[in-house]
Structures are given as C-alpha cells and as structure tokens.
Amino acid sequence: MKIAFTSTGDGWDAKVDPRFGRTDYFLIYDDATEAFTLVDNTEIRSVEHGAGPKSAEKIFELAPDVLITGNGPGGNAASILTKMKMKIYVGAGGMSIREAYNAFKNNELQKGV
C-alpha cells in the first residue's frame, strides 16, 4: 500500500504539513518495500490562486492508496479527490511522519471529506 503524507521533508522524523494545497512536499511511503519517495511540491509557492486543485492533480498522478494530511483539503481539491475515491485521513498536522503512520495504523486518525 502506498501512503502519501503532506510533509515538510523526508524520512520518519519529518513533520506532517497541516496544509494540503500549499504543502511543500508529498512524502510517499510504500509499506511493501518500506521505501520513501519524496515528491517536491515547492513550485506551489509561486501559484497565486487554486493551490488546492493543483496539488490534487499531483495526487492524481502519484496515485497513492491513502492520503494523510492535517486540516484536510478545501472544497475544490476535495471534489477532485472524491472523484478519485481517494481515502483521506486528517488531523495529523504537526505530527512526525512516524507518529502519523502509527496513528493511521491504529485507526486513530479522523476520516476526511
């Protein structure tokens, strides 16, 4: 299973960015291979409007099985993610990736959208 985190950096000790649309990175963890893939999203800093849908497009391309974030996507991003039938979990803002992963595994994260 591929899990995407909105993230401030790479590895288990990076923090979950509470923002979806304006997250600097998506960190993908594949629990079959136990490997991380860091996807740079910093280009979003130069996007004036519509950051949410842009980041949702990126998630569409990356096609993870689960998305873990903080505040949860806004309306426009959510409509794209819902059509993809993406499984979204929220409330992980500020946690480390390790804490968020464990919270997800223990069913402690709230379902988003």
Binding site residues, other proteins, CB under 8 A: 17-22, 45-52, 70-75, 78, 90-91, 93, 110, 112
Query: Nearest to residue 90, comparing CAs of 67, 107, 106, 74?
Result: 67
Query: Nearest to residue 23, comparing CAs of 83, 64, 78, 72?
Result: 72
At residue 101, φ and ψ (nearest 5 deg) are -65, -45
Least distance (Å) between residue 59 CB and other proteins: 16
User: Which of residues 90 and 95 has its CB atom nearest to other proteins in the complex?
Assistant: 90
User: Which of residues 2 and 22 has its CB atom nearest to other proteins in the complex?
Assistant: 22
User: Which of residues 105 and 111 has its CB atom nearest to other proteins in the complex?
Assistant: 111
Least distance (Å) between residue 42 CB and other proteins: 11
For residues 91 and 107, the answer to whether their CB atoms sit within 8 Å is no
